[in-house]
Amino acid sequence: MLEDTIAAISTPLGEGGIGIVRISGTEALKVSKKIFKAKSVNLKELKSHKMIYGHVYDDLAGEVVDEALFCYMKAPHSYTREDIVEINCHGGIVPLRKTLELVLKEGVRLAGPGEFSKRAFLNGRLDLAQAESIIDLIRSKTETGLKLAVSQLKGDLSKKIYEIQDKLLGILAQVEVNIDFPEEDLEEATSKDIICAGEVLVEQIKILIDGAEAGIIYRDGIRAAIIGKPNVGKSSLLNALLKEKRAIVTDVPGTTRDVIEEIINIRGIPLRIIDTAGLRETEDLVEKIGVERTREAAERADLVLTVLDASEELSRQDLDVLALAEEKKCLVVINKIDLKDRKIDKEVLKEHAGTRPVIWVSAEHGTGLSELENLIADLALCGKINTSDGFMVTNIRHKAALEKASFHLNEAIASIKKMVPVDIVAIDLRDAWEALGEITGASVSEDLIDRIFSDFCVGK
């Protein structure tokens, strides 16, 4: 299957300065030479990793398709470790499609989603965790997310996993020498050694798992909902946080009827904010949809910002809104503190806010927003500070594999303590090793590999 040559447009479709058609496989050079003509360079004496100027040429029609740059990357020094040719065309849909079509006409197959990266993985250029980081890198929403992805691409996580796997193999070897003597138990000294070494690994895995909670939040973000009755300043708050006005801000109650989602960078955490219509019982159908959506949004959110108006007394509606988010990770935001006339009753507020943090802001003047951001970040991370060596597990799949490895390792340790036959211990140790291999791809099914790469875009 790896034998054939694949091609795709590797840049986004649309208008751009340049667009790239990428071809990978044994036929890449032969095929691309047929459609590309250069005056200044003899294509027979082509050097690897050198750009050459020329034209994409449709032989059949006898026409120049585009003026382009051509770059040949000789295997194994390429992204896929196969021969790659990249043709830099002008970035329009037509020249790119036409160039790709010419390549495909020569018998090259259109690449599937993520197929270049999949080849990079299958050819051993990247392990699975590294390959997965590429999509994280492309989709990163904050600089923190980008940094974490780059570290994973560099292999920081993989290195740690290989280290643990190596030590695990050492333990396994110690256990396995005893398998041939089933009538004998492990010597006491050996048992102690193994238990001790195993516990060190359990601790290392635990650190990775603990860091993963924050890592996953940095990568995927958290969903937050801004709720409150009409006119308390939900849209104003959203806009103040966005620092650009995208939602509709109006002083007509209940006008923000549709739910809008925006991503805001809060201390490196992508906060997906859902702005909702005002929450109140109403006969108005359109508004009712808004109310129901508010309930839904609050229920789906990981973090709820309940907004109240400092210049008004707390109403029944306010208390209803407060009640809605009681069980959630919730912040109570008292808005409009710039208004001199503060009618909000602090005692009633205290009673209904319970243990939730209360923060006083002015969306209009920006007062208290920086503190609000800190509070959001604290609450989102829940004190889950990264304790690992400068990198974090950011992927739920990796976290699950670590948990599995930890489970088997603990089983193995418990078995040794209970003097269970060593061959049983060996099975758990091997399972732990394999669970770790799921992260780097040393032990994964073809199905899983397909699933991971099909999440990539075409051309990557």
Stretch that binds ligand GDP, among 140-148, 298-306, 331-339, 429-437 (CB under 6 A): 331-339
Is 252 annotated among the ligand-binding residues?
yes
Q: How far is the CB of 347 from ligand GDP (least distance, A)?
A: 23
End-to-end C-alpha distance for the chain, whole angstroms: 18
Stretch that binds ligand GDP, among 92-100, 231-239, 260-268, 434-442 (CB under 6 A): 231-239
Residue 374, contacted partner among ligand GDP, Zn ion, none, CB below 5-8 A by kind: none
- What is the C-alpha separation between 198 and 269, in angstroms, rounded? 35
Residue 230, contacted partner among Zn ion, ligand GDP, none, CB below 5-8 A by kind: ligand GDP
Specify the residue for token string 């992260």: 439
Residue 256 as a binder of Zn ion (CB under 5 A): the answer is: yes
Specify the residue for token string 């990568």: 219
Q: How far is the CB of 77 from ligand GDP (least distance, A)?
A: 56
In this complex, which beta carbon is closest to Zn ion, that of residue 322 or of residue 363? 363
Residue 233, contacted partner among ligand GDP, Zn ion, none, CB below 5-8 A by kind: ligand GDP
In this complex, which beta carbon is closest to ligand GDP, that of residue 198 or of residue 254? 254
Is 233 annotated among the ligand-binding residues?
yes
Burial class (CB in 10 A: 0-12, 13-18, 19+), 397: middle
Q: Evaluate whether 239 touches 310 at the Cβ level (below 8 Å).
A: no
Specify the residue for token string 């808004």: 290
Residues 209-238 that bind Zn ion (CB under 5 A): 234-235
In this complex, which beta carbon is closest to ligand GDP, that of residue 232 or of residue 405? 232
In this complex, which beta carbon is closest to ligand GDP, that of residue 157 or of residue 305? 305
Residue 312 as a binder of ligand GDP (CB under 6 A): the answer is: no
Q: How are strands ordered across the β-sheet holding 6-9?
A: 36-37, 51-58, 63-73, 84-91, 16-24, 6-9, 109-110
Q: Evaluate whether 379 touches 357 at the Cβ level (below 8 Å).
A: yes
**Alpha helix segments (H runs only) across 155-271:** 156-176, 188-220, 234-242
Residue 278 as a binder of ligand GDP (CB under 6 A): the answer is: yes
CA 436 to chain centre: 20
Is 235 annotated among the ligand-binding residues?
yes
Number of H helices, E strands in the chain: 15, 13
Per-residue binding string, ligand GDP, 360-399, x by CB under 6 A, is --xxx-----------------------------------
In this complex, which beta carbon is closest to ligand GDP, that of residue 45 or of residue 251? 251
H or E segment to which residue 448 belongs: helix 446-454
Residue 81 as a binder of Zn ion (CB under 5 A): the answer is: no
Dmax (CA) for the chain in angstroms is: 85
- What is the C-alpha separation between 221 and 286, in angstroms, rounded? 30
In this complex, which beta carbon is closest to Zn ion, that of residue 234 or of residue 272? 234
**Alpha helix segments (H runs only) across 106-142:** 115-122, 128-139
CA 373 to chain centre: 22
Residue 251, contacted partner among Zn ion, ligand GDP, none, CB below 5-8 A by kind: ligand GDP
Is 92 annotated among the ligand-binding residues?
no
Residue 236 as a binder of ligand GDP (CB under 6 A): the answer is: yes
- Binding-site entries: 22, 86, 125, 231-236, 250-256, 275-278, 460
> Which residues sit at the interface with ligand GDP, rule CB under 6 A?
228, 230-236, 249-251, 256, 278, 335-336, 338-339, 362-364
> Which residues sit at the interface with Zn ion, rule CB under 5 A?
234-235, 256
